[in-house]
Amino acid sequence: MKTLTGAQMMCEALIAEGVDVMFGYPGGAIMPFYHALPEYPQLRHILVRHEQAAGHAAEGYARTSGKVGVCVATSGPGATNLVTAIADAMMDSIPIVAITGQVVTSLIGKDGFQETDVTGITQPITKHNYLVTDVRDLPRVFKEAFHIARTGRPGPVLIDVAKDTQNARGVFEYPESVDLPGYKPNYDGNRRQIKEAANLLNQAKKPLIMAGHGILLGHASVELREFAEKTGIPVITTLLGISCIPEDHPLSLGMPGMHGWVHVNRAIQECDVLFTIGARFDDRVTGKLDTFARNAKIIHVDIDPAEVGKNVITAVPIVGDAKRVLENLTEIVNANEHSEWLNHIRDIQATRSKRQRDPESGMFTPHHVYAEFTRIMQGEFRVCTDVGQHQMWAAQLIEYMKPHTHITSGGLGTMGFALPAAMGVQVACPNEEVWAIAGDGGFQMNLQELATVVQESLPLKICIINNGYLGMVRQWQELFHERRYSATPMWSPDFIKLADAYGIPGVRVERAEDVAEAIQQARSTNGPFLIEFVVEREVNVYPMVAPGASISDMFEDPNEVEIEDVVAVK
Amino acid sequence: MKHTLVALLRDQPGVLNRSVSLFRRRGFNIESLTVGHTETPGISRMTLVVDGDTTSVEQVIKQLYKLIDVLKVSDVSQDPNVTRDLLLVKVYAPPAKRSELMQLADIFGAKIVDVVPDAMMIELSGSPEQLDRFVDLIRPFGIRELVRTGCVAMTRGASTVSGPYQNQEFRAA
CATH number of the domain enclosing B110: 3.30.70.1150
Q: Please report, for chain A, how many H helices and E strands are present, in that order.
A: 22, 22
Mean pLDDT for the stretch of residues A525-531 = 97
Q: Same domain for B117 and B104?
A: yes
Question: CB-CB: which of A120, A180, A310 is closest to B68?
Answer: A180
Minimum distance, in Å, between the CA of residue B47 and any CA atom of chain A = 17
Its ipTM equals 0.87
Distance CA B47, CA B73 (A): 10
Q: Is residue B104 part of a domain?
A: yes
Mean pLDDT for the stretch of residues A13-23 = 98
Q: Is residue B119 part of a domain?
A: yes
Residue A344 near residue A211 (C-beta atoms within 8 A):
no
Range 463-502 of A in CB contact (< 8 A) with B: none
DSSP 8-state code for residue A439: E
Strands A382-385 and A273-277: unpaired
Ramachandran category for residue B24: left, alpha or beta (phi over 0 → left; psi -120 to 50 → alpha): alpha
Minimum distance, in Å, between the CA of residue B75 and any CA atom of chain A = 16
Q: Is residue B30 part of a domain?
A: yes
Which among B55, B66, B70, B72 is the top mutation candidate for probing chain A, defined by the most A β-carbons within 10 Å of its own β-carbon? B66
Q: What is the pTM assigned to this prediction? A: 0.94
Residue A198 near residue A222 (C-beta atoms within 8 A):
no
For A69-125, the pLDDT digits (tens) are 999 999 999 999 999 999 999 999 999 999 999 999 999 999 999 999 999 999 999
Residue A556 near residue A542 (C-beta atoms within 8 A):
yes
Test B62 with A305 for CB contact under 8 angstroms.
yes
Q: Is A119 on the interface with B (CB under 8 A)?
A: yes
Rg, C-alpha atoms of chain A:
24
Q: Same domain for B93 and B69?
A: no
Q: Is residue B97 part of a domain?
A: yes
Report residues of chain B scoring pLDDT below 70. Answer: 164, 166-173
Q: Is B168 on the interface with A (CB under 8 A)?
A: yes
Range of the domain at B43: 2-78
Q: What percent of chain A has pLDDT over 70?
A: 98
For A270-281, the pLDDT digits (tens) are 999 999 999 999
Q: Same domain for B67 and B126?
A: no
Minimum distance, in Å, between the CA of residue B18 and any CA atom of chain A = 7
Distance CA B81, CA B160 (A): 11
Q: Which of B78, B100, B135 is the last residue of a domain?
A: B78
Q: Is residue B55 part of a domain?
A: yes
Q: Is A134 on the interface with B (CB under 8 A)?
A: no
A183 contact residues in B (CB cutoff 8 A):
68
Test B59 with A306 for CB contact under 8 angstroms.
yes
Q: Is A51 a catalytic residue?
A: yes
Residue B5 near residue B47 (C-beta atoms within 8 A):
yes
The pLDDT of residue A556: 86
Mean pLDDT for the stretch of residues A238-245 = 98
Q: Same domain for B53 and B65?
A: yes
- Give the 3-state secondary structure of residue A110: coil
Q: Same domain for B68 and B113?
A: no
Distance CA A236, CA A260 (A): 10
Q: Is A517 a catalytic residue?
A: no
Question: CB-CB: which of B13, B66, B168 is closest to A306?
Answer: B66
Q: Is residue B52 part of a domain?
A: yes
Q: Same domain for B135 and B123?
A: yes
Scored b (16 or more CB within 10 A) or e, B41-79 reads: ebbbbbbbbbebeeebbbbbbbbbbbbbbbbbbbbbbee
Q: Which of B78, B109, B138 is the last residue of a domain?
A: B78
A203, pLDDT greater than 90: yes
A348, pLDDT greater than 70: yes
The pLDDT of residue B68: 95
Q: Is the peptide bond before A543 cis (omega within 30 degrees of 0)?
A: yes
Q: Which of B32, B50, B78 is the last residue of a domain?
A: B78
Residues with Cβ within 8 Å of residue A244, at least 6 apart in sequence? A211, A215, A216, A220, A221, A224, A237, A403
Q: Is A163 a catalytic residue?
A: yes
Q: What percent of chain A has pLDDT over 90?
A: 94
- What own/partner pairs with CB < 8 Å and gap ≥ 24 does A324-329 have? A324/A187, A324/A188, A324/A189, A325/A188, A325/A189, A325/A194, A325/A277, A325/A301, A326/A220, A326/A223, A326/A224, A326/A226, A326/A227, A326/A277, A327/A223, A328/A188, A328/A189, A328/A191, A328/A194, A329/A194, A329/A197, A329/A198, A329/A201, A329/A227
Q: Same domain for B63 and B48?
A: yes
Q: Same domain for B69 and B87?
A: no
Distance CA A17, CA B98 (A): 71
The pLDDT of residue A306: 94
DSSP 8-state code for residue A251: T
Q: Is residue B61 part of a domain?
A: yes
Q: Among the options A12, A33, A143, A163, which is catalytic?
A: A163
Distance CA B87, CA B108 (A): 12
Q: Same domain for B63 and B103?
A: no
For A283-341, the pLDDT digits (tens) are 999 999 999 999 999 999 999 999 999 999 999 999 999 999 999 999 999 999 999 99
Q: Among the options A258, A377, A423, A472, which is catalytic?
A: A472
CB atoms within 10 A of CB A35: 15
The pLDDT of residue B172: 45
A566, pLDDT greater than 60: no
The domain that holds B18 is classified in CATH as 3.30.70.260
| CA nearest neighbour of A304 among A147, A183, A142 | A183
Full 3-state SS string of A130-188: EEECCHHHHHHHHHHHHHHHHCCCCCCEEEEEEHHHHHCEEECCCCCCCCCCCCCCCCC
The pLDDT of residue A352: 80
The pLDDT of residue A161: 98
Q: B150 exposed, middle or buried (CB, 10 Å; 0-12, 13-18, 19+)?
A: middle
CB atoms within 10 A of CB A334: 12
Residue A206 near residue A197 (C-beta atoms within 8 A):
no
Q: Is A128 on the interface with B (CB under 8 A)?
A: yes
A129 contact residues in B (CB cutoff 8 A):
14
| Nearest residue of B to residue A303, measured between CA atoms | B66
Minimum distance, in Å, between the CA of residue A182 and any CA atom of chain B = 4
Q: Is B167 on the interface with A (CB under 8 A)?
A: no
Could you give all domains of chain A from N- to C-terminal order, each with its CATH number?
A: 3-171 (3.40.50.970), 191-350 (3.40.50.1220), 366-542 (3.40.50.970)
B63 contact residues in A (CB cutoff 8 A):
306
Q: Is residue B170 part of a domain?
A: no
Rg, C-alpha atoms of chain B:
19
Test A119 with B14 for CB contact under 8 angstroms.
yes
A436, pLDDT greater than 80: yes
Q: Same domain for B97 and B38?
A: no
The pLDDT of residue A356: 73
For chain B, the first-to-last Cα distance in angstroms comes to 36
Number of domain units in chain B: 2
The pLDDT of residue B173: 41
| Nearest residue of A to residue B173, measured between CA atoms | A137
A564, pLDDT greater than 90: no
Which among A123, A126, A157 is the top mutation candidate for probing chain B, defined by the most B β-carbons within 10 Å of its own β-carbon? A123
B62 contact residues in A (CB cutoff 8 A):
305-306
Q: Same domain for B21 and B46?
A: yes
Q: Same domain for B9 and B56?
A: yes
A148 contact residues in B (CB cutoff 8 A):
68
Question: CB-CB: which of A123, A182, A309 is closest to B21?
Answer: A123
Test A306 with B63 for CB contact under 8 angstroms.
yes
Sign of the torsion formed by the C-alpha atoms of A511, A512, A517 and A522: positive
Question: CB-CB: which of B17, B62, B71 is closest to A182?
Answer: B71
Test A306 with B13 for CB contact under 8 angstroms.
no
| CA nearest neighbour of A281 among A249, A251, A317 | A317
Mean pLDDT for the stretch of residues A222-229 = 98
Minimum distance, in Å, between the CA of residue B62 and any CA atom of chain A = 5
The pLDDT of residue A484: 97
The pLDDT of residue B170: 54
